[in-house]
Amino acid sequence: MKLHHLKPAEGAKKERSRVGRGRAGVRGKTAGRGTKGTGARKNVPAWFEGGQMPLQRRVPKLKGFTNVNRVEYAVVNVEVLAKYYGAGDEVTPQALYAHGLAHKDLPVKILARGELDHALTVKAHAFSGAAKAKIEQAGGTAEVIEG
């Protein structure tokens, strides 16, 4: 085998189609554009719908806006803490993740639904005002952690 014996595999090289070059070429006369109409005469944008009301004008407008700085929390209610943790226990985001009570990738926020009747030390990224009050009323502490 010598360098001058090498050639591309069968079917690897294909001649490009020369469009609109008369009867001799495969794509002569109408050149694959059909007969008459705008598409036969010039390039029409892909989004053009032939004069029909365009999609971006048919679809209703979305109201309001999306806040890009919004922080999404994994919320845990006080009633869940009362159910899973005993008096004097320390509740941390890691403990909540381990019990499967909060999603791992999100910061934890404690909300006030339910009752708490024993003291807990709760550490979370955020608390609602009512939840903090309920925890402290039961004799526990609510600590905000950064992260």
Closest to 95 measured CA to CA, from 79, 111, 108: 108
What pLDDT is recorded for position 96? 94
Cα distances (angstroms) measured from residue 36 to each of 32, 48, 56, 87, 118: 12, 17, 28, 83, 83
Contact assessment for residue 77 and residue 114, using Cβ atoms and an 8 Å cutoff: yes
Token pair 């030390």 in the structure block, residue: 121
pLDDT at 25 over 80: no
What pLDDT is recorded for position 15? 87
pLDDT in tens, 38-52: 888 888 888 888 889
pLDDT at 32 over 90: no
What pLDDT is recorded for position 108? 96
pLDDT in tens, 95-147: 999 999 999 889 999 999 999 999 999 999 999 999 999 999 999 999 999 87
Q: Is 110 exposed, middle or buried (0-12, 13-18, 19+ CB in 10 A)?
A: buried
What pLDDT is recorded for position 28? 87
Instruction: Output the CA torsion 31→32→36→41 (10° steps).
Output: -60
Contact assessment for residue 140 and residue 119, using Cβ atoms and an 8 Å cutoff: yes
What pLDDT is recorded for position 50? 86
Domains of the chain with CATH codes: 74-144 (3.100.10.10)
d(CA 87, CA 60): 54
Q: Which residue has the higher pLDDT, 67 or 26?
A: 67
What pLDDT is recorded for position 16? 87
User: What does the block give as tokens for 26?
Assistant: 């495969």
